Amino acid sequence: MVVSRARKNLGESSERVAALALQQRGYTILARNYRTRAGEMDLIARDADGLAFVEVRARRGNARGTPEESLTPRKRARLVAVAQEFLQTHSEYAECAWRIDLVAIELDRAGRLARVDIIKDAVEE
């Protein structure tokens, strides 16, 4: 799949915004763009509640729906598979409580940040 430069830039900048928002809420970022055979996790972080696997979804305008609406059942299943694979290969986190969070980012038509929401437990296993 070929990704346009504008879309790639949106993804990269959204992940930076998400990481900053998480850090401001007490999360420690452990990994970015973690890849496995099952797929990719945008961010892996830790907070007082345990390990957070974080999917970042960004939308410019609302013509294609909200960032939350873009998280399809298929994508949810992949996120769970990536999280489980991470836990299997990183035994130091075997006893940690974990969850999958979503950072929803919306930009206005001019490309300015309109909102950043952190949704804990956005995906259930």
Compute the average pLDDT of residues 12-34: 95
Structure tokens belonging to residue 100: 């999958």
CATH 3.40.1350.10 fits 5-123, yes or no: yes
Name residues whose C-beta falls within 8 Å of residue 110's C-beta, 6 or more positions apart in sequence: none
Calpha distance 43→102 (Å, rounded):
10
Q: Where are the domains of the chain?
A: 5-123
Number of residues assigned to the chain: 125
pLDDT digits (tens, 9 = 90+) for 65-101: 889 988 999 999 999 999 999 999 999 998 899 999 9
